[in-house]
Amino acid sequence: MEGLADQIDAAADAICSAARGLAAKVGVILGSGLGALADRIDDATAIPYADLPHFPRSTAAGHAGKLIVGTLRDTGRQVVALQGRFHLYEGWTAQQAAFPVWVLKRLGIETLVVSNAAGGLNPSYEVGDVMLIDDHINFMFKNPLTGVNDDRLGPRFPDMSAPYDRALIELAESVARRAGFFCPRGVYVGMLGPTYETRAEYRMARRLGGDAAGMSTVPEVIAAQHCGVRVLGLSTITNACSPDQLSETSHEEVVTAAASAGKKLRAIVEAVVLLK
């Protein structure tokens, strides 16, 4: 982590220069197929990642690769949204994948909503459901905190007993009850990718307690816990991963299915933003 603090400061300074008057307390990471929420950010300043020092480049399909600052419609509150993220399967390190989270903290963010597209391991889940991440399993076997720790950013050994904020989970559950949609709690299994899992891997993940599997989010959440940012994790179920009835999965189908949950995600995100 040597030199990381200076890189974070440089990126945060560039964002503050481009988006003057930034005072957001909530950040949102928009995953595969979920970038449309950015269309509901008014008076927006959009900054390509390519214009930000030390930011990686988003290469995954469905990820626009922009940081957006503006007011989330119907809330009157400012947010910072990352329209696209960085995956280890793209060749980035876990620290590079988590880098934007430390930058958001430097900008004053106190709460982070992370969204992703995930395969449903739990047989009760259907395509289009939104799962509230209650915990995760790191099958990426990579950690963004590896190396010499910078105590200015966070502790050497962060506690991970509850990385997903329970009060925010309960808030999301209340939103789902009022709106009348299924929104269970579950365990997210972070896989390295870029291949989708084999039938045997799906069976293993399910037997170990996994409810949904994806290729992101875990490094970001570790970094958020490290620097003291509250996290709400949302997984859109984009395909059913029943190992005995497994069909081929394409990224295009995943993006389309993720977009179908947009209204549910929007309702939850708006409720979180209105807390501030």
Give the active site residue among 63, 220, 223, 259: 63
Active-site residue, from 58, 115, 116, 216: 216
* Annotated binding-site residue? 161: no
Query: Which of 119, 136, 66 has the alpha carbon at shortest distance from 257?
Result: 119
Please check if 73 is assigned to a binding site.
no
Q: Which of 118, 191, 213, 215 is catalytic?
A: 215
Contacts of 79 (CB under 8 A, 6+ apart): 24, 26, 27, 28, 41, 69, 70, 71, 72, 273
Is 63 assigned to a binding site?
yes
32 is catalytic: yes
- Which one is catalytic: 49, 90, 115, 164? 90
63 in active site: yes
Which residue is catalytic, options 89, 149, 242, 267?
Answer: 89
**Active-site residue 2, yes or no?**
no
What is the DSSP-derived secondary structure letter of residue 198? P
For 57, list phi and psi in degrees, rounded to 5.
-110, 135
Catalytic residue flag (residue 149): no
Active site residue 49: no
What size, in residues, is the chain?
A: 276
Q: Is 54 a catalytic residue?
A: no
Q: Pairing mode, if any, of strands 77-83 and 26-30?
A: parallel
- Give the span between the Cα atoms of 271 and 163, in whole angstroms: 20
Is 216 one of the annotated binding-site residues? yes
Question: Any binding-site annotation on 267?
Answer: no
Residue pair 71/42 in contact by the 8 Å Cβ criterion: yes
Q: Can 122 be counted among the known catalytic residues?
A: no
Question: Does the annotation list 87 as a binding residue?
Answer: yes
Q: Which of 38, 60, 94, 117 is catalytic?
A: 117
In the chain the first and final C-alpha atoms are separated, in Å, by 31
Distance CA 144, CA 124 (A): 33
226 labeled binding residue: no
To the query of whether residue 115 is one of the catalytic residues in this protein, the response is: no
Active-site option among 58, 115, 235, 239: 239
Sequence-ordered list of residues with C-beta below 8 angstroms from that of 150, at least 6 positions apart, any chain: 1, 2, 4, 5
Among residues 32, 115, 116, 235, the one annotated as catalytic is 32
Contact assessment for residue 254 and residue 120, using Cβ atoms and an 8 Å cutoff: no
Q: Please identify every residue annotated as catalytic.
A: 32, 63, 87, 89-90, 117, 215-216, 239, 251
Binding residues: 32, 63, 85-87, 117, 197, 216, 239
Binding residues for a purine D-ribonucleoside: 197, 239
Binding residues for phosphate: 32, 63, 85-87, 117, 216
